[in-house]
Chain A
Amino acid sequence: MTTTPAPTSSWARARHLWGLRWRMMRRNWSEFAHQMRKHPLAIIAAVVILLYILAAIFAPAITVHDPTRGSLRTRFEPPFWMEGGSTEFLLGTDDQGRDILTRIIYGARVSLLVGVIAVGVSVLVGLTLGALAGFYRGRFDTIVSRAADLLLAFPFLIFAIGVMAFLGPGFGNLILALTFKGWVEFFRLVRGEMMAEKTKEYVEAARVSGMGKVAIITREILPNIMQAVFVLATLRMGYMIIMEASLSFLGLGIQPPTPAWGSMVASGRDYLLTAWWVSTFPGLAIVGLVLAINLFGEGLRDVLDPRLKIE
């Protein structure tokens, strides 16, 4: 990149650099697609994830039942393959006679939404702070890093539970509780990368070409870090979903009647002896999704992050 003759005006230079990276990115993409083919499991996982997403979006079209309404008359219907079960309720019904499959499908909305938003916000915060801290260092860096260290002194779930306890249940609070500590990983990753990249030639080049600091960060460095961030984000997603489920399981997450996998499992606990299916299937849904996400993440990492910055 630095071998290419430097155009005269600084902006020409900048545009030139852009062009270069754009080409690079396009190449990367085709290369990426090619690489990905070497990880069939990751592909399958991606498909599974897609299925979950579609199910969540088109839930009403998929199922005839209402996730929040059921008749006490159809209480504890077993899954269809057991005697007494009917194909009307494929996976049986819960203590309120609600169709479990339906609730699982709608529950996907909560889990996916929480997962995506929580991770999204975490990335946003972590990226910004990390980039600034890593680039400018100084007092700002020290302060934020200290804060991060402090947060790391709490086990994640305990922290989240604590926050939920204080804020009370609810979707927004859930996101807050999860991101409150979630951003730290991204902060540390970005900060570290930032300090590493900062010294590379192309940054020097951009600097001599008279680019502003912000421009350098956003246009020059970040694009080179994004891959790692993206991988980490995917890997964290599964974790976040499990955390949300755990909180809901403890009754600190989404409140009834809104179907959330965690609380569904919890509500089934009282009926383990009589109706095992109530808490079994929602849990299965969690495992399926998280497994898929993790598999996909692993695949991504092998392809995008060969240096294995992320462990």
Chain B
Amino acid sequence: MRKSRLALIVLALMLAVVVAACAQPTPEVVKETVVVKETVVVEVEKVVEKEATVVVEKVVEKVVTPTPEPGRQTLIVALAGAPVSLDPADHRNRTTETVIRNMFDGLVTRDTRSGVHLELAESMEWLNDTTLEVKLRKGVKFHDGQEMTADDVVFTFERIITENAIEYPEPHSSPRKGLIAPLKSVEKVDDYTVQMFFSGPWPVANQMLVHQQIVPKHYLEEVGTKGFVEHPIGTGPFKFVEAQLDDKIVMERFDDYYGGAPDLEPVGPACVQRAIFRVIPEASTRVAALLAGEVDIIQDVPPELVETLQQTPGIVVKTAPGTRPKWVELNVNKPPFDDVRVRQALNYAVDKDLIVEELYGGRAVPLPGPLSPFNNFVNKNLKPYPYDPDKALAMLAEAGWTDSDGDGILDKDGQPFSFVMDTTAPIRSLAEAVAGQLRDLGIDVSVRVWEYSVVKPLLLNGERMAFARDWGDSAFDPVGHFEAKWHSRVEGSPYGRGNFSGYSNPRVDELIKLGETEIDREKRQAIYDEAQQIVYDEAPAIFLILPEEAEAASERVKNWEPASDSRINLHDVCLE
């Protein structure tokens, strides 16, 4: 007993010593910067910022943390998912892009809707159908102060299109290759000019280039991919500070920022001093964090909470038309879904309006077909499959599915109509709702929740029956979307990379190919109209709904708009 008491005392003493050792609290310093920030005008502000940062550095080496900075300096955004990487070339994930695009700029960028604007590019011009000449903005600096030049651009794109160009952790090709498939090669003309050569005409080049960000050649060559992902450097409005991908990404304002796309106000360095992305997967927790004032902006507000939040004082909810159409893909190669009548019947059997009303509180629209109604090339003549259970039953009966043994479950030559509907956690509720409605029809559906990365290979191998999820068309163009979902699968190519229904129709394939290279808008529209019509009729999926992107923020957040592509652009956002 005495021993332990002694030990305790010693411990206490040691602790005391340690604590005493790291003295030097810093609050007043920080307070200062606050005052200054409030009063001083922009020019001076920079100076002050420098002071502030210096202070921070001093603090760090003293192993004393600054007391939490007042909210007005730090903007905190709650993400619904964790980014998978900070390498613009090594992911295929929207959240990741959301984070990355605040540290990296692309040749072009997109506003909160579908407009594309020049960013790092000063001008882009088609020399001919297949050659795009890009003139770069001069004097753009990477976060390490080096200027961005044609070399970086060339490097960036070659890194994406070359096989196994990414060496860490094990050599592999960029998953983003598919987003710029037609690109054959890139060449430097002079320090500020590059030419991109495509395999054929590529009308959507602008929309697609938005999804590629420029990385620094010199830095990557120096530290390699490993070093790069640990401390990425770009030309974006914020520079990397620290990150634990599944927890938080801390960024600091890049003071030498060239200002961003000139025709997107405001131009100039970012407004906030610090920006932090926090990963909060549980929707309710995200909301709670916002209510508690722990975060300023939250992604993916669950529909059933939008009401509540709107009524909450101090909270602003904004929505944008979504770009993530949701559907249940049906394995067209396996009975019973190999019968088009069955697939159509299921489309008739689901009451989309009810789902929109009850599940999404009206914040969604039924899908008119394979494309989102907001897509630039949606087929205006298509109307969503109406809810008509009787017709559905009739069609099923026609296909041989009736409840002959009266057990409430449809059956065909002895086999009950039952299958498992796979889905992923975020839309479990939707999947179960659909399953419920099918059950009412007499189909025995159970729902299984998977992790996307696990179920994806199974789906591509056609091992599953049905899969409920979404596929983004953030480019508002069929490209990047249509060929992924409805083109027959071509191993190792972007075609059919997301084709989970095993759907294959030569005509559609042909149309997709045509559409990609057709420049004339009218013709293009015609092409896609036909393609959509076919897919609509053959119904390889139950076309469900397109929910709005709902984001919420505290009132203090100014000049913030949720973007349709669900990217959060913090460049313009201010806090007061």
Separation of A68 and B449 alpha carbons in the complex (Å):
16
Residue A120 is within 8 A (CB to CB) of chain B in the complex: no
Separation of A251 and B449 alpha carbons in the complex (Å):
8
10 other A-B residue contacts (CB within 8 Å) besides A95-B429, A96-B433, A269-B282: A68-B439, A72-B354, A72-B355, A72-B358, A72-B436, A75-B358, A95-B432, A257-B432, A257-B446, A274-B308
Q: Map CB proximity to A onto B293-305 as digits: 1 under 8 Å, 0 otherwise.
A: 0000000001011
Give chain B residues whose Cβ lies under 8 Å from the Cβ of A273.
284, 287-288, 305, 308
Separation of A72 and B228 alpha carbons in the complex (Å):
49
Residue B550 is within 8 A (CB to CB) of chain A in the complex: no
Separation of A26 and B357 alpha carbons in the complex (Å):
66
Minimum C-beta distance from A94 to chain B (A): 10
Separation of A255 and B423 alpha carbons in the complex (Å):
12
Residue A277 is within 8 A (CB to CB) of chain B in the complex: no
| B interface, over-half SS | helix
Chain A residues 134 to 184 lying within 8 A of chain B, measured CB to CB, are: 169
CB-CB nearest in chain A for B287: A273
Residue B283 is within 8 A (CB to CB) of chain A in the complex: yes
A255 touches B447 (CB 8 A): yes
Give chain A residues whose Cβ lies under 8 Å from the Cβ of B432.
95-96, 256-257
Give chain A residues whose Cβ lies under 8 Å from the Cβ of B31.
none
A274 touches B449 (CB 8 A): no
Give chain A residues whose Cβ lies under 8 Å from the Cβ of B287.
273
A73 touches B358 (CB 8 A): yes
Give chain B residues whose Cβ lies under 8 Å from the Cβ of A214.
none
Give chain A residues whose Cβ lies under 8 Å from the Cβ of B446.
255-258
- How many chain B residues sit at the interface, stated as a range, is 20 to 34
Residue of B282, B305, B433 near A72 (CB, 8 A) is B433
Separation of A195 and B212 alpha carbons in the complex (Å):
73
A-B interface contact total, Cβ < 8 Å: 64
B283 touches A270 (CB 8 A): yes
A69 touches B308 (CB 8 A): no
Separation of A144 and B268 alpha carbons in the complex (Å):
72
A270 touches B282 (CB 8 A): yes
Give chain B residues whose Cβ lies under 8 Å from the Cβ of A44.
none
Chain B residues 437 to 473 lying within 8 A of chain A, measured CB to CB, are: 439-440, 446-449
Residue of A73, A95, A257 near B354 (CB, 8 A) is A73
Minimum C-beta distance from B309 to chain A (A): 10
Separation of A271 and B288 alpha carbons in the complex (Å):
11
B436 touches A96 (CB 8 A): yes
Residue A70 is within 8 A (CB to CB) of chain B in the complex: yes
Residue A20 is within 8 A (CB to CB) of chain B in the complex: no
Give chain A residues whose Cβ lies under 8 Å from the Cβ of B449.
251, 255-256
A76 touches B304 (CB 8 A): yes
Residue B435 is within 8 A (CB to CB) of chain A in the complex: yes
Separation of A219 and B359 alpha carbons in the complex (Å):
63
Q: Map CB proximity to B onto A103-119 as digits: 1 under 8 Å, 0 otherwise.
A: 00000000000000000
Residue of A69, A76, A271 near B436 (CB, 8 A) is A69
Chain A residues 249 to 267 lying within 8 A of chain B, measured CB to CB, are: 251, 255-258, 267
Give chain B residues whose Cβ lies under 8 Å from the Cβ of A75.
358-359
Give chain B residues whose Cβ lies under 8 Å from the Cβ of A257.
432, 435-436, 439, 446-447
